[in-house]
Amino acid sequence: MKKLLSLVAALVVGYLLASGGGWTGGGQTTASTSSVDSGESTPRSTSGSRDGGSLQSAFERRQSNIQVESAGEVSRVLADDTDGSRHQRIILRLPSGQTVLIAHNIDLAPRVEGLRPGDRVAFYGEYEWNPQGGVVHWTHRDPSGRHVAGWLEAGGRRYQ
C-alpha cells in the first residue's frame, strides 16, 4: 500500500512539475487519490457513462474507485512515470472542460504511440479523485483476472 501511495504521489508531483502548477479540474476543489494499478487487485464498483457525466459527477462528489468510460482531447502528453510500474501519462480535456490524467500502465499494456495535442482518446478505467480533475488508471487487463479490464482507444486501435 505504501508503494501505491508513493506512485500516486509521484504521478501528481511529476505532472505538477512538468506543467508548472496544476491542471484544471473544471473549477471545483476536492480531496485525495487512492491507489494506482500495480498488480494489486481489488474489486471495484462499475458505474460509468459514455458521455463523461458520471466522471464529472465523481469529480464533484470527490469519489474514487469507480469505473468510468468517456473520451476527450489530448491536452498534453507528459513524460512517462518510471518510478515503479511504468505509466504513460496523458492529460485529456473532456467535453465538459474538466481535465483528467490518464495513467496507462505500459508494463502491462502497449504504449499509445504518436499522441499529439488535439488527438481524440476514448478510455475505460478506474477513476481516482484529486483536486486537479482526477486520475484514470487500470486502462489495461488485469493479469490475475481480479480487476475489471480497462482500455484506451486512439487512432482506430484499442490498447489494453
pLDDT of res. 52: 52
pLDDT band per the 50, 70, 90 thresholds, residue 53:
low
Beta bridge partners of 67: 126
Output the nine-digit C-alpha cell for 11: 504521478
pLDDT of res. 55: 86
pLDDT at residue 45 greater than cutoff 50:
no
More confident residue, 147 or 39: 147
Q: Residue 39 corresponds to which amino acid?
A: G
pLDDT at residue 148 greater than cutoff 50:
yes
More confident residue, 77 or 145: 77
Q: Do residues 140 and 73 lie in contact, with contact meaning Cβ atoms separated by under 8 Å?
A: no
pLDDT band per the 50, 70, 90 thresholds, residue 145:
confident
> What does the angle CA 100 – CA 83 – CA 137 come to, to the nearest 5 degrees?
30
The pLDDT of 46-65, averaged and rounded, is 73
pLDDT of res. 69: 95
pLDDT at residue 32 greater than cutoff 60:
no
More confident residue, 40 or 147: 147
More confident residue, 106 or 144: 106
pLDDT of res. 56: 87
The total of other beta-carbon atoms located within 10 Å of residue 53's CB is 14
The total of other beta-carbon atoms located within 10 Å of residue 116's CB is 7
Mean pLDDT estimate for the chain: 77
Structure confidence by residue, pLDDT tens digits, 125-137? 999 999 999 999 9
The pLDDT of 33-59, averaged and rounded, is 51
